[in-house]
Amino acid sequence: MTTAAPADGKIWTVLELLTWTKRHFVSRGIETAQLDAECLLAHVLDVERLKLFLDFEEEVSKVDRAVFRDLVRKRAGERVPVAQLTGHKEFWSLPLKVTADVLVPRPDTETLVAAVLERLPGGDAPLRLLDIGTGSGAVALAIAVERPTAHLVGTDISKAALEIARENADVNGVSDRIELRHGPLFEPVAGQRFDWIVSNPPYVAESQRGTLPPELDHEPEQALFSGEDGTTMLAELIAQAPALLRPGGGIAVELAPEQADSVTGWCRDACFTDVRTHRDLGRRVRVVSARLPAG
């Protein structure tokens, strides 16, 4: 196997390109080297990732190699997230458009979706839900797809993010049940009432700046940081939510494991009952949910 870069005049097959790129990514400290190489090449060749394995011996054209080389450089050199390079990310099996204006939806956030779905009342009753900080719309869309009787309002302080959420709602066929509103926290929905409030707010601690993976430099600042210990927006959400919830309504928020004790305490201070924690696949607490008394 040659170790020359894919810029030279030789013939490069799919397998050779993947092998070279994986090694290159590993040498640059990228943990998901193999997966990233496959996602980027599949994107350039406009095929499903698994199709690459059937095409290992196929030659990759000079034009495709040039496009691929540019993406590999941005991934390895500038540490641009793969989803920003390909322009999309799958979340809850839904295809979502992603740009630098939105947080790349994380698999961890599926724990939030699962927690809300588990706690929503059953049956066909219409439900009104609020997703604060909707970003790409990931959480709101997943809930809307799973619960056809749910109407969702998604809010965000970023107008650019709301435009992406709108496109994602259209593509996933739920735009008739998703309203998008611009503004901070509960301001865009003042005076309204909801059955459940859900949020994946910014919760990275300012004190962690400088210790974070370089990929985060490419994501919107306001999607990540929230005060010295990361809990400023979480605290505001829990304190203000009861005024917007119907009796028996609930809230579910994503957080960092070390924030769970504070947040469960704030839920009880705000008169929530039935406070629960939800763990991700790695058994770490990533979501707190709670309900108001019914009557």
Name which of residues 41 to 80 contact ligand SAM (CB under 6 A). none
Residue 81 binding ligand SAM, by CB under 6 A:
no
Compute how many residues bind ligand SAM; rule: CB under 6 A.
Answer: 24
Residue 86 binding ligand SAM, by CB under 6 A:
no
Nearer CB in complex with ligand SAM: 6/135: 135
Nearer CB in complex with ligand SAM: 24/177: 177
Q: Is 223 helix (H, G, I), strand (E, B) or coil?
A: helix
For residue 31, the minimal CB distance to ligand SAM (Å) is 21
Which pair of structure tokens corresponds to residue 282? 């790695």
Question: Which residue among 6, 135, 249, 250 contacts ligand SAM (CB under 6 A)?
Answer: 135
Which of 119, 103, 71 lies closest to 168, judged by CA? 103
For residue 54, the minimal CB distance to ligand SAM (Å) is 33
Query: In sequence order, what DSSP letters do the residues of 32-57 get, joined into one string?
Result: THHHHHHHHHHHHHTS-TTHHHH-TT
For residue 116, the minimal CB distance to ligand SAM (Å) is 12
Give the C-alpha distances (Å, rounded to integers) separating 68 from 8, 30, 58, 81, 85: 14, 17, 15, 15, 10
Which of 33, 14, 164, 13 lies closest to 88, judged by CA? 164
Rg (CA), the chain: 21
Name which of residues 212 to 231 contact ligand SAM (CB under 6 A). 220, 222-223
For residue 89, the minimal CB distance to ligand SAM (Å) is 9
Q: How many CB atoms are located within 10 Å of the residue 49 CB?
A: 13
The rounded distance, in Å, linking the Cα atoms of 294 and 247 is 5
For residue 242, the minimal CB distance to ligand SAM (Å) is 18
Which pair of structure tokens corresponds to residue 184? 């901070």
For residue 139, the minimal CB distance to ligand SAM (Å) is 5
For residue 226, the minimal CB distance to ligand SAM (Å) is 7
Nearer CB in complex with ligand SAM: 6/188: 188
Nearer CB in complex with ligand SAM: 200/259: 200
Residue 161 binding ligand SAM, by CB under 6 A:
yes
In sign, the C-alpha dihedral spanning 97, 105, 69, 53 is: negative
For residue 174, the minimal CB distance to ligand SAM (Å) is 15
Question: Which residue among 42, 72, 98, 132 contacts ligand SAM (CB under 6 A)?
Answer: 132
Nearer CB in complex with ligand SAM: 201/250: 201
Per 3-state DSSP, the chain is made up of helix, strand and coil in percentages (nearest 5) of 45, 20, 35
The rounded distance, in Å, linking the Cα atoms of 238 and 80 is 33
Reported for 224-231, long-range contacts at CB under 8 A and 24+ positions apart, including other chains, are 224/103, 226/201, 226/202, 229/205, 229/259, 230/202, 230/203, 230/204, 230/205, 230/206, 230/256, 230/259, 231/203, 231/255, 231/259, 231/262, 231/263
> Going residue by residue from 174 to 203, which x/- string records binding to ligand SAM, judged by CB under 6 A?
----------xx--------------xxx-
Residue that the structure tokens 């985060």 belong to:
216
Nearer CB in complex with ligand SAM: 161/244: 161
Chain positions contacting ligand SAM, by CB under 6 A: 103, 105, 109, 132-136, 138-139, 155-158, 161, 184-185, 200-202, 220, 222-223, 233
